[in-house]
Amino acid sequence: MENNNKEIAAILEEFKVDLFGIGDMSLYDSSLVGIDDKVKEELPFAVFFGLVLSKSILDTITDGPTQLYLHHYRQLNYRLDMISYLLSREIEKKGYKAMPFAASQVVDWQKQRGHISHKKIGVIAGIGWIGRNNLLIDPVFGAHGRYNTVLTDMPLAAGKPLDQGCGDCMACVDTCPAESIKEEAALFDHKGCYEMINKLRKERNIGHHICGICVSACRGKR
């Protein structure tokens, strides 16, 4: 397993990812969407990786998403999708199975869910925790990451969830225009958040359900 981890690390380092980890899918407590849940047993390891958004572009976000942020957001997602595909091909060349996912794709619009929750994979891989803003928080990069996942049966040594949290930080709570972020993460208002990003999408002709305000506010140790 150790050698396999080193091989995955070497491949991802070539792709210039900013962070990565391995998750044990037996710890993933949600169902896959639009995919048979038996995949979690057939492909028991999750390779999680991410790219970090530009601080300068995030600084352009004051009261909502900008066209510059939209382009940057899409470009990172495109890059993550390519890495997911190329990593899967490298794993398959070694004789194992690998399933790449999209970095950002909604397949259940009613519940706003993709095939897999990258942020939950990040938690079980030991990368970060789910913050008050309902995003994956990395100790160094805060909420500034965009992520993707590849599932595989390649034997790997998985990380362990971090025993950390947001502590006293209320940066995202103070900046949320929808007031959807509460002091307790479990009280996050999903409906209010969606209504706000839908409003911003129409008002700013963004064409995408993004906001970026709480993302920009959550800076970790950057």
What pLDDT shows up at residue 5?
A: 97
Tokens at 50, concatenated: 């991410």
Closest among 100, 175, 90 to 132, alpha carbons compared: 175
What pLDDT shows up at residue 221?
A: 86
State phi, psi for 216 to the nearest 5 degrees: -65, -40
Name the residue ranges covered by the structural domains of the chain.
2-217
Q: Is the pLDDT of residue 204 over 80?
A: yes
Please report which confidence band the pLDDT of residue 222 belongs to, taking 50, 70 and 90 as the band edges: confident
pLDDT digits (tens, 9 = 90+) for 107-148: 887 677 899 999 999 999 999 999 999 999 999 999 999 999
Interacting residues of 168 by C-beta distance below 8 A, sequence separation 6+ = none
Tokens at 47, concatenated: 């390779």
| H or E element at residue 100 | strand 98-100
pTM of the model: 0.94
Are 41 and 184 contacting, i.e. CB atoms less than 8 angstroms apart? no
Residue pointed to by tokens 């996942």: 149
pLDDT digits (tens, 9 = 90+) for 34-81: 999 999 999 999 999 999 999 999 999 999 999 999 999 999 999 999
Tokens at 162, concatenated: 């971090």
Half-sphere exposure of 211 (CA within 13 A, CB side): 23
Question: Who wins on pLDDT, 1 or 208?
Answer: 208
